[in-house]
Structure 1
């Protein structure tokens, strides 16, 4: 083999490897971006309630290892020292415990109110209403020591604008079910 033929073969092999390298870069860059984005997408889905499961009025739904039922959603009128045009709203749930591992299944338990415009209200401590000893909040129920078959009465108190009371719906989210959450419909829906 002559030196010129050898050089020609090296150039041909070099061109082949350059083409392969360019194709691999074209494939590897999107793959690297996808790998880097995976953790961010996973965190987004794990920390947010994104997809609703609608529950009809009077029905219960299995969620977070237990059966959830909205028993009442009502305003508490006639209270003094509240911001103008605001109404305290009480959301009452009856939960029949299926799996008693609430500290894992109900971690990050969150009950909110959502209106037709997508606005959210979290429970408030600004309004303190006397509740029976048998009524708990979502968070206190986690540490209640409830056993399979027990029925818990949960209540959360919210402070919402008066105009929003016509379209609010309670929603329940727990870590074991995220990104899904329960959205309870009202009797008139």
Structure 2
């Protein structure tokens, strides 16, 4: 009887040891799987890696050719916060793949300054634009066909002191975590 109890004790010790070894493998594996999902979500939802585009050049991005055509301030407007300036960013985009609703999903035009701060378009400033000018989001649903060139304009409100260092950037879900960062003439 005591031999049976001793055998059970040894067997139980073996299983405890085996369980601990399995835990040493399973816990890091579980953490790795969860971290992978987090990293994948982080990279899929954010514009992290810039692709620089020289002034006057275009870049293939999101199935289309993007070109910055103008970046300018709209000075002299009233009813704005002190020391702020409306900035207009104009693009000409030649459509390659017309599936814009999928390729341009999450389309984001932004301004980035030398310190890495970002500004999103604003609706607080209303400026008259020609009828053929669209925003990034409205262009997704415009029904543009391959070969069409569409004009995009986004309006921003930024502090006056950053107007010399801001650069326009474009991000779309089909290209994330990469985004286009357009350089200015003086860069």
Tell me the TM-score normalised to structure 1 length.
Answer: 0.91
| 1:87 to 2:85 alignment | yes
| 1:148 to 2:142 alignment | no
More displaced stretch, 125-134 vs 155-164: 125-134
2:27 is matched with 29
Task: Give 1:51-70 correspondences, 5 Å limit.
Answer: 51-70=49-68
2:156 is matched with 158
Give the Cα–Cα distance (whole angstroms) in 2 for the partners of residues 162 and 145 of structure 1: 37
Tell me the TM-score normalised to structure 2 length.
Answer: 0.92
CA displacement at 1:10 relative to structure 2: 5.8
Provide the secondary structure at the position in 1 that maps to 2:123: coil
Give the Cα–Cα distance (whole angstroms) in 1 for the partners of residues 80 and 8 of structure 2: 84
CA displacement at 1:78 relative to structure 2: 1.5
Residues 59-101 of structure 1, C-alpha deviations (whole Å, 9 max, x = no match): 1111111011111111111111111111111101110100000
Give the Cα–Cα distance (whole angstroms) in 2 for the partners of residues 182 and 76 of structure 1: 24
| 1:76 to 2:74 alignment | yes
Give the Cα–Cα distance (whole angstroms) in 1 for the partners of residues 27 and 108 of structure 2: 39
Give the Cα–Cα distance (whole angstroms) in 1 for the partners of residues 100 and 11 of structure 2: 64
Give the Cα–Cα distance (whole angstroms) in 1 for the partners of residues 12 and 52 of structure 2: 61
What is the aligned residue count? 187
Provide the secondary structure at the position in 2 that maps to 1:166: coil
1:18 to 9, 16, 24: 16
RMSD of Structure 2 on Structure 1 (CA): 1.8
Provide the secondary structure at the position in 2 that maps to 1:43: helix
Give the Cα–Cα distance (whole angstroms) in 1 for the partners of residues 161 and 13 of structure 2: 71
Give the Cα–Cα distance (whole angstroms) in 2 for the partners of residues 56 and 10 of structure 1: 75
